[in-house]
A and B are shown apart, each in its own frame.
Chain A
Amino acid sequence: MTRKQRRLILIGASLGVLATAAGLVLGALRDSIVFFNSPTDLAEKHPAPGTRMRIGGLVKPSSLQRGDNLQVRFIVTDGKADVAVHYQGIVPDLFREGQGVIAEGKLEPSGTFAADTVLAKHDERYMPREVVDALKKSGRWQEGEVATPGSKIR
């Protein structure tokens, strides 16, 4: 086998693996990423029901209802728009009314958000960065309100 052939095999194998990886990455990016929306985004953009997404904002005070079988209903607000959310399961330790929250799930045709994951911030000093940005956009955020945005969210 000549030097040239060996080199060609090496380059061919590398390109083959890289092309496979590129294909996998592009395919996965199309199918598996999840967009973040604030309640205002939902009100403005009207995304198709059934799309998987994340929403975030504050849990509206006195909107939290607990039902049987670990059912939880609450309203997520960014001050401009509200979204009703329902979830079955255990909410995180720092899930509270008036506090930041991120929910992942699907929008139902009725406009209610069916969450399968609920993430709350993990420290009283921090707030999920997406929530901060959403609140900033809706003008409900005062600078300096929270020491450092962007931290632990589960």
Chain B
Amino acid sequence: MIPELGHFALVLALALGLIQSVAPMIGARKHDAALMRIASSTALMQFVFVALSFLTLIICYVTSDFSVATVFENSHSMMPLVYKVTSVWGNHEGSMLLWVLILSLFGALVAGFGFNLPATLKARVLSVQSWIACAFYLFILITSNPFLRLPQAPFEGRDLNPILQDIGLAIHPPLLYLGYVGFSIAFSFAIAALIEGRIDAAWARWVRPWTLAAWIFLTVGIAMGSYWAYYELGWGGFWFWDPVENASLMPWLAGTALLHSAVVMEKRNALKIWTLLLAILAFSLSLIGTFLVRSGVLTSVHTFANDPARGVFILAILVLFIGGGLTLFAWRAPMLKQGGLFAPISREAALVLNNLFLTTACLTVFVGTLYPLALEAVTGDKISVGAPFFNLTFVPLFIPLLLAMPFGPLMAWKRGDILGAAQRLMAAFGMALVVIILTFAGDRSSVLAPFGIGLSAFIMMGAVVDIVERLGLFRETFSITRQRAAGLPRSAWGTALAHFGVAVTLLGIVCVTAWATERIVALKPSETVSISGYELTFDGTVQRSGPNFSESAAKFTVRNGGVPIGVMEPSKRSFISRATTTTEAALMTRGMSQLYLSLGDTNNDGSISIRLYHKPMVLLIWLGGVVMALGGALSLSDRRLRVGAPRPAAKSAMQPAE
């Protein structure tokens, strides 16, 4: 009964979605307020029904109802409760339901908080949002129904893929989807604006908070995913340039570009058409990401649930929305009023430069990800494009972007002064130079690393200089500085913080790439291995059993300069129901650095193979992501951007929604 209820709720959501796809659009055309008002109610109700549907699926998993096919395939009655819940989206059907849940959530948020939007724009946005939702409801109902019953209910489920039984997985996909799907709002706004044939600075002001919110979630989601792969896949890499990772990186790059171009549009009413195009592209890349992950066209480290037959359906959705969106753009964009041009040395131009590099870098990722597919389709040759390709293309494009980053916020709108900006960055230059020299003096093993660290220092100091300049610190009296600090918009603090976060991540990447050490050895009990000043002694193995696995853990005592500092216990877990083994790495955090230990096979002579890494400053990589996201959140909390924030003391005077 419960799964049928969920299925029925989803069908109802589809019915509402179909109404919302058509009625408000007609209403907006005929200026019929009643028809336009439908959109808000249906958007809210769609979310209610999809949430109900999702809830019933959770109930099926929690109660281990193995008569439901997806529960049987992906769950086990012995599994801990948290993994029973997370396995709802650890498979194709459930993850698609999560996708539409978030899609309908964003629709409902626009309906609920968009009361300062013009009525026609709001109706059209919600209508377009509903087109996307309907396509995905149909996809789920036709090809991937999570509520299908088995003719005979088995006694026990087949368990969730053990590698997914991890808390990182519990958080990673929902965050990533919040990011992916969040860009659907920007897309809907862009399509609505194209249909309406009107676009202005206010449009950018409405779109920016949504884009920013999606970007924050995507940033945290990517960082989470990277950390999960780092500790769960057992070989200590933080980024594999794997197709599925690239699928999340591409919308992030396009979304970052969109954030910056929307600023230009909001402040200077320029770059309008480019911003529209980026809004369409960011969501298109999210759709392509979904397609790549869900269709099984790519072999990847992350693809857990896929089926080529479904790929055709998603491909159709892809063609419809990307093709349709771009066609509409090509047709309507020339009719929009052009924005102004600007001087080549100005804040606007700096942001254009940012966009140019970000989109080009995104393009190289796109080529590297899809070229193997195209080549195989054309010549039949199978190739793999890995890290070397991206190191040769993506990295050289990102370095100038990073070098230019501190200059942007220091330039004035309209007409900037590059020499003035450089002068104000002298302190940052000096700092970077000192850092480079000190790093060279300390360690000569790497030539590039000191420059990487210098670049990172330059960006960090650049962010600090930006704030110092704005506050007039060291120039003005303390009280003036304090006044300015109070008056400085939060988005300015957010920018500086996010840019600082980029430098933190960069610092982590440079340190790990240059100075990580690795030992792969076979050890017998009581033997010792040393790495980067640490000695690890193998004490022996212990057998333990968990709820749905048994594990063999190896105990290592870690000493630093002869002083014991702790114990590391990497293990191998065997999951009985799937006859699978996973390797659980042990991590020891020392400041921002980590010792990383994972087990290999037990050899015939009783020794055990281990993989031991010292990863200096590795935590900075993800910490930087968190700092970037915090910067975004700070910026989002800016009064100017807050979605539907009531203007102070003017609530009663505000216009009714429609």
A contact set with B: CB distance below 8 Å: 1, 3, 6-7, 9-10, 13-14, 17-18, 20-21, 24-25, 27-29, 31-36, 54, 66, 69-70, 89-91, 93-94, 104, 122-124, 128-130, 133, 148-154
Contacts and interface: CB of A to CB of B under 8 A. Distances in A.
Interface stretch (B353-361, B532-540, B641-649): B353-361
A70 B389 contact: no
B35 interface: no
Contacts of A104: 384
B373 to A, nearest CB: 12
Nearest to B237: A154
A129 B611 CA distance: 28
A93 to B, nearest CB: 4
29 contacts: A10-B341, A10-B352, A14-B356, A18-B360, A21-B360, A24-B392, A24-B393, A25-B367, A25-B368, A28-B389, A28-B392, A29-B389, A32-B385, A32-B389, A34-B384, A66-B603, A69-B522, A70-B522, A70-B600, A90-B520, A90-B611, A93-B580, A94-B580, A122-B163, A129-B299, A148-B306, A152-B163, A153-B299, A154-B301
Contacts of B344: 1, 6, 9-10
Interface footprint category on B: 35 or more
B578 interface: yes
B397 interface: yes
B609 A90 contact: yes
Nearest to B578: A124
B578 A123 contact: yes
Given A6-B341, A69-B522, A154 B233 contact: yes
Interface of B: 161, 163, 233-235, 296, 299-304, 306-308, 341-344, 352-353, 356-357, 360-361, 363-364, 367-368, 371-372, 381-386, 388-389, 392-393, 396-397, 520-522, 572, 578-583, 600-601, 603-604, 609, 611
A93 B575 CA distance: 12
B299 A128 contact: yes
Given A27-B392, A33-B384, 5 more contacts: A10-B344, A13-B352, A24-B393, A25-B367, A34-B383
Contact of A25 (B233, B393, B520, B582): B393
B306 A151 contact: yes
Given A32-B388, A70-B609, A93 B572 contact: yes
Q: Which 4 A-B pairs rank lowest in CB-CB distance, beginning with the nearest?
A: A90-B600, A36-B382, A32-B388, A28-B392
Contact of A32 (B342, B382, B392, B600): B392
Nearest to B299: A129
A14 B611 CA distance: 46
A130 B306 contact: no
Nearest to A90: B600
A83 to B, nearest CB: 16
A8 to B, nearest CB: 10
A153 B300 CA distance: 7
B383 A123 contact: no
A102 B581 CA distance: 19
A126 to B, nearest CB: 9
A28 B600 CA distance: 34
A6 B339 CA distance: 14
Contacts of B520: 70, 89-90
A25 B357 CA distance: 14
Nearest to B397: A21
A23 to B, nearest CB: 9
A94 B581 contact: yes
A149 to B, nearest CB: 8
B583 A32 contact: no
A127 B344 CA distance: 54
Given A6-B342, A90-B611, A91-B601, A24 B396 contact: yes
A147 to B, nearest CB: 9
Contact of B304 (A6, A20, A124, A152): A152
A24 B303 contact: no
B19 to A, nearest CB: 37
A148 B307 contact: yes
A123 B580 contact: yes
B382 A130 contact: yes
B558 to A, nearest CB: 20
A10 B299 CA distance: 39
Given A1-B343, A66-B604, A124-B578, A13 B353 contact: yes
Nearest to A36: B382
A103 to B, nearest CB: 12
A35 B611 CA distance: 28
B386 A32 contact: yes
A27 to B, nearest CB: 7
Contact of A36 (B235, B364, B383): B383
Nearest to A56: B382
B344 to A, nearest CB: 5
Nearest to B388: A32
A27 B360 CA distance: 16
A24 B611 CA distance: 35
B363 A31 contact: no
Most buried by A among B303, B385, B572, B582: B303
Nearest to A149: B296
B360 A17 contact: yes
A152 B301 contact: yes
Given A90-B520, A152-B303, A24 B364 contact: yes
Nearest to B395: A24
B364 A25 contact: yes
Given A6-B342, A20-B397, A152 B600 contact: no
A149 B352 CA distance: 44
Contacts of A18: 360
A28 B356 contact: no
A34 B386 contact: yes
Nearest to A5: B344
Nearest to B297: A150
A150 B244 CA distance: 13
A35 B385 CA distance: 9
B356 A13 contact: yes
B232 to A, nearest CB: 11
B299 A130 contact: yes
A32 B395 CA distance: 14
Contacts of B361: 21
Nearest to B610: A90
A54 B360 contact: no
Contacts of B578: 123-124
A150 B299 contact: yes
Nearest to A129: B299
Most buried by B among A27, A66, A123: A123
Contact of B601 (A24, A90, A129): A90
B360 A35 contact: no
Contact of B392 (A1, A10, A31): A31
